[in-house]
A and B are shown apart, each in its own frame.
Chain A
Amino acid sequence: MANAANDQPGLKAGPDMPHSEVHYFNSYNHHGIHEEMLKDEVRTKSYRDAIYNNRHLFKDKVVLDVGCGTSILSMFAAKAGAKHVIGVDMSTIIVKAKEIVEVNGLSDKITLLQGKMEEVELPFPEVDIIISEWMGYFLLYESMLDTVLWARDRYLRKDGQGLIFPDKATIFMAGIEDGDYKEDKIGFWDNVWGFDYSPLKYTALTEPLVDTVELKAVVTDPAAVITLDLYTVTVADLAFKLPFSLPVRRTDYIHAMIAWFDIEFSACHKPVRFSTGPHTKYTHWKQTVFYLKDVLTVEAGEQVKGQLTCKPNQDNRRDLDIAIDYETATDDQGRTANGHCEYKMC
């Protein structure tokens, strides 16, 4: 029985593996995941543009790259004129990263350290700029943001002149019509080769799906739920309960809420932004789909109001407990609906 969760067996990122820290870091040892990230053009080009188009900010600065991976961001920063770049990563990929830095003639500009951010000893007491690609699915799943914030508090210069790339992240939500796919993913369990599999249906409903959503499926305007300002946000802020309100754009059904995030490098001369939403180019983050128990019937001009709750799981901080409350604001008694759905990203 093949572990189908895992088409690249080397990644060992299937649900059969315990989601321990060890697992988390191991999954980044393999080159496959780095290949996927590097080939994500939206991601890599945005970082490249933010760094290369702002050489004036990087010139002669000390830069810290948190979770440097293959060191691509460190090399961008070095090429942009940084005095020195320190890349830190827990994963053994750093062995490869050192070779890459050497081959590209940047060894004197870049110091790579393997270990936990909280434990390694930096060759500089403070840094001018922190760069990091810390975002996970749904922004916060398996994200390294805690580590970035720790590095900020410990190493970023205290005079207010320190910069963080990127420095703003916003989570958006919208409602989608997704009848066919919901039938395929959820309704599937009602009749499996002639058998009733409904016990698995309820499990399926609690698992957010990371997938690409077509723009035409989006029924509501998007709403920003939370914006994280990396200069001020704290780890405590990453557990939140916030309202959202989705203006319905067309009369249709809503089967699911989706979430995605936008990232901004606002320190730039010309701010660089990218979005992982359904309206723009593919990124490896795709979108996150939360199926609702009900199917909502909505009419153009109405609002779907709700609340998004998100907090790290008590047992494993890299897992997320998410809840969505929703209600349709309509005068039509037959169409009023409200509910509470709980999800677990693990």
Chain B
Amino acid sequence: MKYAFYPGCVSRGGCPELYPAAKLICQRLGIELEEMPAAACCGAGVMQEKNQLFGDTLNARTMAMAEKKGLGLMTICSTCQGVMAQANHRMKSDSAYLEKINSNLAEEGLHYSGGVQPKHLLWILIEDYGLDKLMPLVTKPLRGLRLAPFYGCYIVRPTEALGIEEHPERQTSLETLIAALGATVIDFEGKTRCCGFPILTINEKNSMAMVGKHTSEAKDLGADAMVTPCPLCHLNLDGYQPKAASQAHRPIGLPILHLPQIIGLAMGISPKELGLQRHIVNTKPLLVKLGAGG
């Protein structure tokens, strides 16, 4: 099993623990990854506000690179996943648009047919890899751990671009995986809402209100931690949780885990190798509960 790997900017930038954790678990799972050092940023929906054509062209370029390798494309970020899926959706529904984009890619010797389906690791594990193959590798099930899922907007909406109709199981994929790893799912209203990160530097008060609302809700329902497939959500929910707690005038203290980290823990990989010591919200109480040590 082999994929062209698109780690995105944040997994090597603001969340430097994510990239090595994802590579490590893929290695243990036997998923081969081929990186694309010439792939550019997806634009995170931000660039698309100013120049959608430029954003879509860069994403077509990345998908053309995967296509040239004859490989599927793996993402580890909800935002990358959604932005690329939306670009794909626009190109597929407008052949003239795709042609225009291809004319810009020709100089680099690239051509995109429109046929690549970018897939988040979360979907790959359930749809391509299979939980039946994953289960035997779960040597340290996360029994007793109460985990709240937090998807990140781009991996759940708009459903039209994300193939949700053909794959309704994607809507509960995070819960499915949490349960498969032996943990208890803490379902809560905020799981598919916005973390507030996109407006962090534009309207910080609103952004912090969102962090405070979702983390408090999960915490009050008894969650030991939150799990997210989106490093951008992680930046806000983890990095800014102290600030959100002070704005909300209450303690929160809810560790936010990256998806590959919970898989790694369940496979018996040490917390240190998974970068849990790099989180802003202390993960030690969680690891003590799990009996995995600090």
Please say whether chains A and B are actual partners in one complex: no
- Interface residues of chain A, those whose CB is within 8 Å of chain B, are none
